[in-house]
Structure 1
Amino acid sequence: MRAVVQRVDGASVAVTDESGTRTVGEITGEGLCVLVGVTHEDTPEQAERLARKLWSLRILADERSCSDVNAPLLVISQFTLYGDARKGRRPTWNAAAPGPVAEPLVDAVVAALRALGARVETGRFGASMRVSLTNQGPFTVLLEV
């Protein structure tokens, strides 16, 4: 399981469908925007480990974590984190888990964060999403569990 974690000062995700474009997840103020990718071998235990790491990661102001200041998280599924563009000019997605495997694991990360007491907003799995954020720092970290 792989996550790109950005310290943000606000972030949102919008989805466009037959009824138009609408915001489906939004956080305001300091928090984390987390893009989560899942590969074939990932497990619910890894999802829980990632959630604990995100909740306690000390990358907010004054080396604090979301758990220290009750900062919100915006979690968005991102299969392209397992794209491979080492050969040729077109990435392959073979390492990314298919939706029926990945969706429950991304949901497990969100559920584990909420069980820890986190305020979590999400995107919509499999949708074409527009993510807007203000990266504070900029500060971006790659996590793998």
Structure 2
Amino acid sequence: MSKFVWELTPQDLLEHSVWQFLHWKDDAEDETVVGPASESDAIDPNASLIVKAIFTDSNGDEFLGYVRFGQTGIANTQPCMFIGEATIGFWFGISKPDCSELRVLSFPITIVTKCAYDLPTQVEIMKGFGFFDLDSGSKVRYCEQDQP
């Protein structure tokens, strides 16, 4: 059961808390295709993983989502969470988003991974929607939003 990473659903994460990018084992695979990870794959230090996480906003509301495992910082974890049927991605890479068009959320958001196979828990505090600011030497910047 493989799919593009952007096709992951809350149900997928409830059924399999650890997913792997399949290209780390097979260069012929598209780099955006993921599949459920076995325990041996999940503990392999070369694995490229996505894991289930709980996102808690500053109001205490919780949402299901996922992050890239084993790395820190929004550029590396590339967090995504679900609100109803919508998938909210927080990382825009070198594309500066129009902050006025983004969903207003209650930042900061605390992310805590919840994955199988005794993988260590990761905790990250997310300040907002992030992007590389090419005008400042590719520093990570965050959109400023009016809080709800």
TM-score by length of 2: 0.28
Name the structure where helix makes up a greater proportion of residues.
1
Name the structure where strand makes up a greater proportion of residues.
1
TM-score by length of 1: 0.29
